[in-house]
Amino acid sequence: MTRPRILITGVGLITALGPDAEACWSAIVRGKCGVGPVDLFDVSPYVGKVGAQIRFPLPLPKLSRADQRRLSRCDLIGLAAAKEALHDAGDPVRDDRFGLAVGAGAGGMFDAERYHERFVKEGPGTRAPLRDLSSFLPDATAEWIGRAFGLGGPRVTVATACSSSATAIGIGADWIRSGRADRVLCGGADALSRVTWGGFNSLRAVDPGPCRPFDKARGGISLGEGAGFLVLEREDLVKTKPRAVFGGYGVTSDAFHMTNPHPEGASASAAIRAALADSGIRPEDVDYVNAHGTGTPANDTAESKAIRAALGDATRACVSSTKSQVGHTLGAAGGVEAAVTVLAVERGVAPPNVTTTEIDPSCLPIDVVLGEGRPLAIRHAVSNSFAFGGNNCALVFSKVAR
């Protein structure tokens, strides 16, 4: 049985750089950085005092006032990006053949924290809005998106930490390949919270300034928030101009450590090779890698080794990390970075590392894009997402043949 070809027809993207894909992309290729002061909560006790906070009104679908009060910050960010992706795809028919796969991280924890504060002050009889009680559920964002847009097909929420949204995209593609769905909205959303902020600071994994992936002086991550969604469609049903081709994906597990990657990047490399095999793409045909690139000493060295092992030491593929511009959006990262990779393939520009000045020798030889976007004919691109617990996912996107 021949596998159906899958096209990307819609992209939705919200980060600290802008409220839609076009605004984000424009800022990315111009080398802008969205990491700055955070005032959602008090960050003064922490080493890390900067992050990528969204500060603009969200372009939401029509919601009742009651529903707006019920939705968490994460839900609202996700709804706005999902709306854009569906509109970008030409608002295709939504029925029981339209699937939804959403990656989750801390999700609505920011809103749940507000209830906890009140509970501590007021005691067991504390009343709270539904949002504050249900927002921490991992599937809350998927529920609101599915309901808002009438997506009646298969639905799943994926929670594999920072690879959640990338894995959700792979699952969505599998549904189309297996005949379970004709179209899938897939990606993820996440929001800043005290829990994640305090947690990463306690791990001493946060850079005091904007993160510097692959830099010799890198000191850790910069946290961010956002959402990235793609609309995947079976080729014979596509009615709008596609942005890119979904090639394939690979998932592996380090089975090594909860927070540290395998130092040689062995399993991460296997995920990249599996994605290339799934796509039918040769390593030498990859022109761009959107790296997981967190800015931690352990991740960037291991990932550099993984890229070289998968693509070959002589690879001509250039590399960059979107996290240098939008921070680490945790559960949303795979969706955000997949959206950026799709735009890179479509527009023929490799995004930059904007905060990196001197490449760490332990990360060489890889060609890191510095400063501003680099014009490049990108035939095939890889987007990496490597999470805590050794949950690895690599996605492949290709140029649409004209």
- Residue pLDDT, tens place only, 355-385: 999 999 999 889 999 999 999 999 999 999 9
Whether the predicted model's global pTM rises above the 0.75 cut: yes
Task: Find tokens 């969205």 and name the residue.
Answer: 34
Q: Please provide residue 158's backbone torsions phi and psi, each rounded to the nearest 5 degrees.
A: -110, 130
pLDDT of 128: 64
Which carries the bigger pLDDT value, residue 104 or residue 93?
A: 104
- Residue pLDDT, tens place only, 209-237: 999 999 999 999 999 999 999 999 999 99
- Residue pLDDT, tens place only, 149-164: 999 999 999 999 999 9
The rounded mean pLDDT for the chain is: 94
CB 136 within 8 A of CB 112: yes
Q: Please provide residue 401's backbone torsions phi and psi, each rounded to the nearest 5 degrees.
A: -70, 130
- Residue pLDDT, tens place only, 333-360: 999 999 999 999 999 999 999 999 999 9
Task: Find tokens 């800022």 and name the residue.
Answer: 27
Distance CA 337, CA 292 (A): 9
Confidence grade of residue 127 (pLDDT, cut at 50, 70, 90)? low
Which carries the bigger pLDDT value, residue 107 or residue 29?
A: 29
Q: Mean pLDDT across the stretch 167-185?
A: 98
Architecture of domain 6-398: 3-Layer(aba) Sandwich (3.40)
* Domain spans of the chain, in order of start: 6-398
Given CA atoms 130, 131, 134, 139 in this order, what sign does their dihedral have?
A: positive
Which helix (H) or strand (E) segment is 171 a member of? Answer: helix 164-178
Confidence grade of residue 258 (pLDDT, cut at 50, 70, 90)? confident
b/e sequence 47-79, b meaning 16+ C-beta within 10 Å: ebbbbbbbeeebeebeeeeebeebbbbbbbbbb
Q: Mean pLDDT across the stretch 228-252?
A: 98
pLDDT of 155: 98
pLDDT of 47: 92
pLDDT of 73: 93
Active-site residue list? 162, 292, 328
- Over 80: is that where the pLDDT of 113 sits? no
Which helix (H) or strand (E) segment is 50 a member of? Answer: strand 50-51
- Over 80: is that where the pLDDT of 394 sits? yes
